[in-house]
Amino acid sequence: MPKPDTSPLPAPVPSEVIGFIHEVQGPVVVIRCERLPPLRQALSARVDGEELLFEVHQHLDEHHVRAIALHSTAGLSRGIPVIDTGTPLHVPVAPDCLGRVLNMFGRPLDGQPAFVPVTMNNIHGVTRPLHQVRGASEILPVGIKVIDLLCPFVRGGKTGLFGGAGVGKTVLIMEFIHAVSTLHQGSAVFAGVGERIREGHELWHELREAEVMDKALLVFGEMDESPGVRFRIAHSALTYAEYLRDSLQHEVLLLMDNVFRFVQAGSEISSLLGRMPATVGYQPTLGTEVAELEDRINSTDQGAITSVQAVYVPADDMTDPAVTTILGHLDTKVILSRSQAARGIYPAVDPLHSGSRLLDRHVVGDHHYAIAEGVREHLARYRELEDIITMLGIEELSQKDRAIVQRARKLQRYLSQPFHLTAAHTGIAGITVTLADTLTDCEAFLRGHYDGIPEAQCYMRGSMERPTQ
């Protein structure tokens, strides 16, 4: 809390000025106001001819508010006039936003001229009435074997990619952009939440080289920006996704990398505002902040927003409070395993811990469900027998278990797949496999049709019958 200020307010200046800078503590700014602006109101000040924006987060007393700066606070000093914009933060939207790289405020980062906005939309959005929200009950094939078979995406639902550092979350997200742009002719909105500038630069160029950038919109809040930007960049990207869904009736894929950094930014803001930390040091408002973001991702009669969210798992601990809070909002969970990556199996999806609420015989049908369960049973039995094989050798197993292990090892390698967006690095052309071919191949593996082929022939290929499709 700032020290009580009993001095009279400065002499009135033009009517739009609401108050003056009273205190600056890093990204936190205390503003002495003539009247209190509402929470989440956008305020601005000018320093050396540049406009700086703030977002109101706390009312301290009848004359002071605490706001988070959305720019660097270098140059701010006590007594600078603060202007009330009259609204929360808004971003410009238009059909021309596709193919662009923007910052949180809708300003271009790609060196191109700013597009002409059709309207300005509030980044906090409008909560949809329950009767306008459409339930998600249809799978969205993405052409990646292990995903479509064991943890299918939900059209209009939310999918989380969980994993520690270096297991392939960002590469998998980039492949989803390619899949939706080519298979479903939809639009992709990518939210770079606390992204490294290197990652954003690589993503931009790889999407251009893959010729899918014209169907994508990249919105970046970089790692070195204010915690207010990293906290609101996902809301800004979601605003663009809602515009594409409602105004242009597009099938929209919303990708967020990384949602954990959104939680970290919220924790940083919470500490700066003086709130008492809660479980494991996270902010006490963790559940509310995640719910406000996740509950805006839904489908309506105008279109669907399908969300894929990369979630960093601290120390590979799936019981971390941030991870479990995010997990409660998802329809599909894709767990990326460090042990799979160590074996060279990419995508490094853990087939036993990943799953989807739509992998149900009433949704995917008896055929798909039976094959998925058969694959899981073989892989689970192989995992149970791994220690015995290591100690005693595979020769000590029964004939039945030996056959299960051999088929499971081939299935494990078959579920690897070369990606389109990594072809330049690996020298292996990317392959898209239909769900029908995946089911046919897995059924043949389970029945023993491929018992006679070596494991190496199952690795990094497409369909067994059409390997170069």
Residues classed as catalytic: 169, 195-196
Q: Compute the CA torsion angle 215, 259, 306, 298 (nearest 10 deg).
A: -120
User: 370 near 438, Cβ under 8 Å?
Assistant: no
Q: Bridge-partner residues for 187, per DSSP? A: 252
Helices (H) and strands (E) in the chain, counts: 13, 18
CA 366 to chain CA centroid, Å, is: 31
Rama region for 263: left / alpha / beta (φ>0; ψ in -120 to 50; rest): alpha
Q: Compute the CA torsion angle 184, 354, 437, 408 (nearest 10 deg).
A: 160
Buried b (16+ CB within 10 A) or exposed e, 31-68: bbbeebbeeebbbbbebeeeebbbbbbbebeebbbbbb
Rama region for 97: left / alpha / beta (φ>0; ψ in -120 to 50; rest): alpha
SS3 393: coil
Q: d(Cα 181, Cα 186) in Å, to the nearest integer? A: 5
Q: d(Cα 375, Cα 355) in Å, to the nearest integer? A: 13
Q: How many other CB atoms sit within 10 Å of the CB of residue 396?
A: 12
CA nearest 314: which of 233, 258, 254? 258
